[in-house]
Amino acid sequence: MADATEASAVPARGMSRAAIFVAATRGRHGADWTDWASYVYLVFGTLLMFVPVAWLALSSLKTQAGLDQMPPTVLPYEPARAALPGRPGEFPLFRVTKGDHAGQELAEVRRIGLQAQMVDPAAPAAVIRVPVSDREPVMRLHAAWDNYSAVVSRFDFLLYFWNSLFITVVATVITLLFNAMAAFALSKYNFRGRGTVFALILATLMVPPTIILVPNYLIASQLGLVNSLWGVIWPGVATPTGVFLLRQYMLTIPDELLDAARMDNASEWRLFWRIMLPLSAPALAVLAIFSVMWRWNEFLWPLVVLSRSENFTLQLALNSFQGELTTSWNLLLAMTVLTLLPITLIFLVLQRHITQGIASAGVK
Amino acid sequence: MAEARPLNLVRMMAGRGLAAAYAGTMNILELPMRVAQRSLGPGLAWLFVGPNLIVFSLFTFLPIVLNIWYAFSGSTNLLPSQRPWVGLDNMRALLSCQNHFDPSSCQRDLFWHGVYNTLEFVVLQVTLMVALSLITALALNKKVIGQGFFRAAFFYPVLLSPVVVALIWKWILQRNGVLNGVILSAGGTPFDWLLDARSAFSWTVFVSIWAHMGFYTLILLAGLQAIPRDVYEAAEMDAAPPWTRFRRITLPLLMPSFLVVVVLALIRAVQIFDEVFVLTGGGPGTATTYLVQFIYETGFAQQIREYGMASAASLLLAAVLMLLTLAQLRLVRRGNG
């Protein structure tokens, strides 16, 4: 399949790494230096792709105090607290660094100036005096899931999530239907003007939405679509990519199948939804993946057409919060993770189909 | 039995539910479509392409015409009928400079900053991205162990939304971010990466490459895998060294995919907006203000919305994109033919 000389470098999956390593020194029939360079490069690249996302996810589990720490810790920590018998509430734990009690973990019950009154949780009767400079807080691993509950309860997260979900699902369904209808007519009917229609549709490839923002805004406003989720949905439901992809696929479906159904007096509409659509499922799936990706991540057009916050999509809400919430990164990070989660899950499940679909269609 | 498993049962029920909903919806349209078929005859095809054409007409074809009108008319009114014709005034305002190589001497300095920033960005970003994608595709094509995993890893950021991408990197690059943390631990001095003009510009290039190179890698990898293997075997018979094989076989046979990647990357780089807008907001100053941000801000984010000016800039951008897309179509056609 791939480079023939290099194929011998990895002859069998079971071959141990040591054997490959030995082979590496054996000239052009073994693995040469380019194989090793490839591995090093790929591992480094993978880290570069994943570590920033992992860092985001880890950071989203820290408290605001934990986030402010410099230099930052890798895992989320929180100052430990302990309950003391006979005293209400919980008290912060400190590790004493100097003096008679060095190494002990004590709870601070009171602080007077630079002296702290500390108590050993194991022996709560005795009060020990320690200078505040001779101790450091005990940190304990702690995932601050409250960041997530705060995002969900304090901001209209669910509303934004719903808006994004609604746009993604409805737009994808309409996109699939409209584009498949056009592709059906363009591939199976011989009507006057077919070539012109196809050329017109392909020509729209040349007009990305970024260059017709102002007139699109006018039309959306004339149709009463400004500040409505439908204003985000409608402009993008007809896609040249989708029509082209589906038409090419439908051309491979034999006309005899349709003729046989026509014999049985099936209507053209029935031919379309009973025969063509199910048979085009692979191409439809590719378009569906594209559409979900486009819609969930769309930014500039929603930014223009949705100005009231109750209509915001997740992307818009994130953008507006990052302006307002610069002091509470913990919430912003949790919200970012929640936004990337659905796409990440879809990718984990459909990874192979997505990469193959995009490689075959060559579009994004 | 597999059917007895709860998950399968749920899946089966959901599948049946969806199928029933699908059939039900389509059946509702059966009667009107039958009537249409009888009355329209062969014209029924137009009913099938109709929805698409209506959407295209409303949101692509009509806007192209309107955009031209906006570009040559003035005032802050949105309604085209209320906008007086001003001829080339908008264009003239956009393009007039005392010295075209010094954006601050221009009447619309923000536009020219946008033009020059975009130009620099496009050259740098496309060169680096295409080179890195090619290297990655070549490395992946070596039948490495875990090829699928590596391919997926490089592709993953492509799926992330621009806003998420920008926030991931903003979090890393901010004053108290992990990059400064690492530098601090290594004994260096922290730096405000996004508050320095040159550094912010470089980071927008880096972040956009990080987010998109997986896509181009995928296209190049598909191109590499389409190169027939016996060509290489023949070269090996002739004991051609790896560099010669790369230059004489891989590069020429990969050329069609390579050119498509270059043009696609150019088209997208010229329109850079989303990630940068969230990452730097175009700043510091105008260091990372690109052309589309100028259009967006002039038309929609200012107190006074200058639709004419935004449309005039769009028109100029459209001309560039038109050229690039024509180049792409020509390349695709040549590649297929």
SS (H, E, C) B68-121: HHHHCECCCCCCHHHCCECCCHHHHHHHCECCCCCHHHECCHHHHHHHHHHHHH
Indicate the residue type of A110.
Answer: R
Q: With contacts defined as CB-CB under 8 Å, which chain A residues touch B79? A: 218
> pLDDT tier at B9 (50, 70, 90 boundaries)?
confident
Higher pLDDT, A253 or B3: A253
Which one, of A50, A165, A334, A62, lies nearest residue B155 by Cα? Answer: A50
Q: What is the pLDDT of residue B336?
A: 58
CB atoms within 10 A of CB A192: 11
Q: Across the interface, which of A211, A238, A347 has its CB nearest the CB of B317?
A: A211
User: Residue B276: which pLDDT band, with cuts at 50, 70 and 90?
Assistant: very high
Kindly report the number of other CB atoms within 10 A of residue B80's CB atom. 14
Share of chain A above pLDDT 70, in %: 89
pLDDT average, residue stretch A49-66: 89
Which range has the worst mean pLDDT, A116-120, B157-161, B261-265?
A116-120
Q: Report, as an integer, the average pLDDT of A336-347.
A: 91
Does residue B273 surpass a pLDDT of 50?
Answer: yes
Query: Shortest Cα distance from B250 to chain A (angstroms)?
Result: 10
Coil/strand/helix, residue B240: coil
Q: Indicate if the pLDDT at residue B2 is higher than 60.
A: no
Q: Are A136 and A97 in contact (CB under 8 A)?
A: yes
Q: What is the mean predicted confidence (pLDDT) over B145-168?
A: 91
CA dist A196 → A182, A201, A242, A357, B53 (Å): 13, 9, 17, 28, 12
pLDDT(A19) > 60: no
Task: Determine the pLDDT at residue A52.
Answer: 95
> In this model, does residue B98 exceed pLDDT 80?
yes
> Comparing C-alpha atoms, which of A113, A83, A115, A121 is closest to residue A99?
A115
Give chain B positions within 8 Å (CB) of A164.
none
Chains A–B, number of C-beta pairs less than 8 Å apart: 313
Q: What's the token pair of residue A223?
A: 């149709």
Residues 6 or more apart whose CB falls under 8 angstroms from that of A36 comprise A24
Can you give the pLDDT at residue A321? 86
Provide the token pair at B281.
Answer: 């907001």
Give the mean model confidence (pLDDT) for residues A40-54. Answer: 93
Helices (H) and strands (E) in chain B, counts: 16, 0
- Report the candidate in A347, A30, A285, A37 with the shortest Cα–Cα distance to residue B149: A347
Average pLDDT over residues A208-220: 90
Using the Cβ of A272 and the Cβ atoms of chain B, whether some distance falls under 8 Å is answered with yes
Q: Work out the number of other CB atoms within 10 angstroms of the CB of residue A125.
A: 8
pLDDT of residue A290: 86
Of A115 and B165, more confident: B165
> Residues A246-261: pLDDT tens digits?
998 999 999 999 998 8
Using an 8 Å Cβ cutoff, are B62 and A219 in contact? yes
How many Å lie between the alpha carbon of A114 and the closest alpha carbon of chain B? 29
Predicted pLDDT of residue A326: 65
Let me know how long chain B is: 337
**3-state SS assignment for residue A81:** strand
Q: Which of A32, A214, A299, A326 to mutate to test the interface with B (most CBs of B within 10 A)?
A: A214
Nearest to B320 by CA among B275, B274, B266: B266
The residue-averaged pLDDT of B47-52 equals 93
In the predicted model, is pLDDT for residue A122 greater than 50? yes
Tokens, residue B301: 């984010």
SS (HEC) of A120-152: ECCEEEEEEEEEHHHEEECEEECCCCHHHHHHH
pLDDT for residue A23 is more than 80: no
In the predicted structure, residue B201 carries a pLDDT above the cut 60:
yes
pLDDT digits (tens, 9 = 90+) for B277-314: 999 988 798 999 999 999 999 988 888 888 999 999 99
Residue A89 is predicted with a pLDDT of 79
Contacts 24+ apart (CB under 8 A), B20-29: B22/A273, B26/A269, B26/A273, B29/A269
Out of A10, A221, A268, whose CB is closest to B37?
A268
pLDDT of B5 reads 67
Which pLDDT score is estimated for B269? 93
How far is residue B218's CA from residue B79's CA, in Å, rounded to a whole number? 45
Chain mean pLDDT for chain A: 83
Least confident of A98-102, B152-156, B180-184, B299-303: A98-102
Q: Cβ contact (<8 Å) for A359 and B221?
A: yes
Burial class (CB in 10 A: 0-12, 13-18, 19+), B94: buried
DSSP letter, residue A11: -
- Give me the pLDDT at residue B74, please: 82
Q: Look at B142 and A235 and tell me if their CB atoms are within 8 Å.
A: no
> Has residue A363 got a pLDDT over 70?
no
The pLDDT confidence band at residue A87, using thresholds 50, 70 and 90, is: confident
With vertex at residue A126, the alpha carbon angle to CA A120 and CA A127, rounded to the nearest 5 degrees, is 80
Percent with pLDDT over 90 in chain A: 35
Q: Does A194 touch chain B (CB under 8 A)?
A: yes
Q: What is the pLDDT of residue A15?
A: 43
Q: What is the mean pLDDT of residues B195-203?
A: 94
Which chain B residues are within 8 Å of A61, Cβ to Cβ? none
A 91-130 residues with CB below 8 A of B? none
Q: Is the pLDDT assigned to residue A141 strictly greater than 90?
A: no
pLDDT for position A246 = 92
Cβ burial, residue B42 (10 Å; 0-12/13-18/19+) = exposed
Q: How many CA atoms lie within 13 A of A316 on its CB side?
A: 26
Contacts of B67 in chain A (CB under 8 A): 211-212, 214-215
Helical pair B162-173 and A33-59, crossing angle rounded to 10 deg: 90
Residue A31 has pLDDT above 80, yes or no: no
Given its phi and psi angles, is residue A15 left (phi above 0), alpha (psi -120 to 50 degrees) or beta? beta
> What is the distance between the alpha carbons of residues A216 and A197, in angstroms, rounded to a whole number?
22
CA–CA distance, A15 with A10 (Å, rounded to integer): 8
CA distance B319 to B121: 19
- Dist CA A210 CA A301 (whole Å): 8
pLDDT in the model for residue A362: 56
Average pLDDT over residues B92-100: 84
Mean pLDDT over the full length of chain B: 88
Residue A128 pairs in a beta bridge with: A118
Token representation of residue A13: 């999956």
Least confident span in A53-62, B118-127, B230-239, B265-274: B230-239
Given A2, A71, A211, which is nearest B225 (Cβ)? A2
What is the separation, in whole angstroms, between the first and last Cα of chain A? 26
Residue A127 — very low, low, confident or very high, per pLDDT cuts 50/70/90?
Answer: confident
- Reading the block at residue A131, the tokens are 């200078």
Average pLDDT over residues B150-167: 92
Whole-angstrom Cα Rg for chain B? 26
CA A247 to CA A183: how far, in whole Å?
4
Distance in angstroms (rounded) separating the CA atoms of residues B150 and A45: 9
CB-CB under 8 Å, B139 with A42: yes
Tens-place pLDDT, residues A150-187 = 888 877 889 999 999 999 999 999 999 999 999 999 99
- Side-chain half-sphere CA neighbours of B301 within 13 A: 11
A119 - beta bridge partners?
Answer: A107, A127
The verdict on B307 touching A (C-beta cutoff 8 Å) is: yes
- Is the pLDDT reported for residue A361 higher than 90? no
Residue B13 pLDDT exceeds 70: yes
ipTM of the complex: 0.86
Closest CB to A4: pick one of B170, B229, B322.
B229
pLDDT range class, residue B97, cuts 50, 70, 90: confident
pTM above 0.90, yes or no: no
Average pLDDT over residues B53-57: 94
Q: How far is CA A186 from the centre of its chain?
A: 35
The residue that leads in pLDDT, A47 or B1, is: A47
- DSSP, res B331: H
When CB atoms are compared, the residue of A34, A38, A208 closest to B242 is A34
| Residue B259 CB neighbour total at 10 angstroms | 17
Q: Which pLDDT does position A65 carry in this prediction?
A: 78
Query: What DSSP designation does A73 have?
Result: P
pLDDT, mean of residues B124-148: 91
**Average pLDDT value for residue range A18-29:** 43
